[in-house]
Amino acid sequence: MLRLTTLALLACTTPVLAQEINVYSHRQPELIQPLVDAFTAETGIKVNVAFVDKGMAERLVAEGDRSPADLVLTVDIARLMQIVEAGVTQPVQSDVLEANIPETLRDPGDQWFGLTARARIVYASKDRVAPGEVTTYEDLASDKWKGRLCTRSGLHDYNVALLGAVIAHDGEEAATAWAEGLKANLARKPDGGDRDQVKAIAAGECDIALGNTYYMGQMLADPEQVPAAESVNIVFPTFENGGTHLNISGVAMTKSAPNQENALRFMEWLSSDAAQKIYAETNHEYPVKPGVERSALVASWGEFTPDALPLADIAAQRPAAVKIMETVNFDG
């Protein structure tokens, strides 16, 4: 188990400018580059980022002890867990990470740490959905939404995580009924990504859709997608016995990490005020560190109460959630 402190890192006698770290990232390079540039400018440590869209766990397993990767950055708790379960990460104990990242957004075994949060919310037509009509996640399975709902594949990680949260809150039987009700309310077969659901609402194909908050920021930054984005409101549902579902982007250190000290330094820096602010402004996400302000755009979407359920509890329900989606043939 790695146990390092920032003071120990600062006391390192190896010239900082001669050092580097290697990162495998699910996140697009343009979303990571502002962070990399700021960290290198502050520390002199070079960060090499390899974009690995698919098969990251398999790649790390194949590389074994020869892997050059020090850290992995992922866009979802499910992908973090896949990498951890592949046995290619190591626990990291850090007072800085524990102080900066809430307990519900990091692994109890110190294998992974959340860096940003996004809410899984409802996009609702401004013209066809009345204020207050969207209430809870459970209510999305109500008959009142029949033929009015759009979503991406039920087997996509974002929807699997949401169903995992339903299981954790309400149990597998209720979650199965919820998935069946959601499917019965679909206006069309699940297709595309979250932005495609907003476009479908704008086109009149459905009235509401499941989506992540940050996609709205991305759409508003694209002149061609602005009209569709401006046709919907962001609504924050809650669980009947909880808050609004959150997912994360996160980081883990590989078991083979050849540059452990500087890798930890980067991890800790990513949880700092400076890095969290860059994340917030660049990616339209919520900082995980308490007290760091949201971007003005994200703040304009309104306040909500995050669900208090630990992400580790939700991730543990992934196999059951996938089984339910397959059993109800959600995408069929």
Look up the domain containing 28 and give its range: 2-117+247-300
81 in a domain, yes or no? Answer: yes
Q: Is 120 left (phi over 0), alpha (psi -120 to 50) or beta?
A: beta
Q: What pLDDT, in 10s, does the model give residues 178-232? A: 999 999 999 999 999 999 999 999 999 999 999 999 999 999 999 999 999 999 9
Mode of pairing for the β-strands spanning 246-254 and 89-90: antiparallel
Give the chain's mean pLDDT: 93
Phi and psi torsions of 280, nearest 5°: -60, -40
Residue 248, classed as helix, strand or coil, is strand
215 and 134 share one domain: yes
203 and 283 share one domain: no
What percentage of the chain reaches a pLDDT higher than 90?
88
Instruction: Dig out the tokens for 294 from the structure.
Output: 């949201």
163 and 101 share one domain: no
Query: Are the C-beta atoms of residues 211 and 80 closer than 8 Å to each other?
Result: no
174 and 293 share one domain: no
- Specify the number of domains making up the chain: 2
123 and 106 share one domain: no
154 and 61 share one domain: no
Nearest C-alpha neighbor of 154 from the set 142, 136, 168, 140: 140
Q: Which pLDDT score, from 0 to 100, does residue 2 have?
A: 52
Q: What pLDDT, in 10s, does the model give residues 99-124? A: 999 999 999 999 999 999 999 999 99
Q: Is the pLDDT of residue 252 over 60?
A: yes
Q: Which pLDDT score, from 0 to 100, does residue 36 have?
A: 95
Instruction: Dig out the tokens for 240 from the structure.
Output: 């009947």
18 in a domain, yes or no? Answer: yes
157 in a domain, yes or no? Answer: yes
148 and 113 share one domain: no
If you average pLDDT over residues 145-171, what whole number do you get? 97
98 and 180 share one domain: no
321 and 212 share one domain: yes
pTM recorded for the entire structure:
0.88
102 in a domain, yes or no? Answer: yes
20 in a domain, yes or no? Answer: yes
What is the CATH classification number for the domain harbouring 157? 3.40.190.10
332 in a domain, yes or no? Answer: no
Query: Are the C-beta atoms of residues 125 and 200 closer than 8 Å to each other?
Result: no
82 in a domain, yes or no? Answer: yes
What percentage of the chain reaches a pLDDT higher than 70?
95
309 and 192 share one domain: yes
Q: What pLDDT, in 10s, does the model give residues 40-92? A: 999 999 999 999 988 999 999 999 999 999 999 998 888 899 999 999 999 99
286 and 317 share one domain: no
190 and 320 share one domain: yes
State the DSSP string of 92-140: EE-HHHHHHS-GGGB-TTSS-EEEEEEEEEEEEETTTS-TT---BTGGG
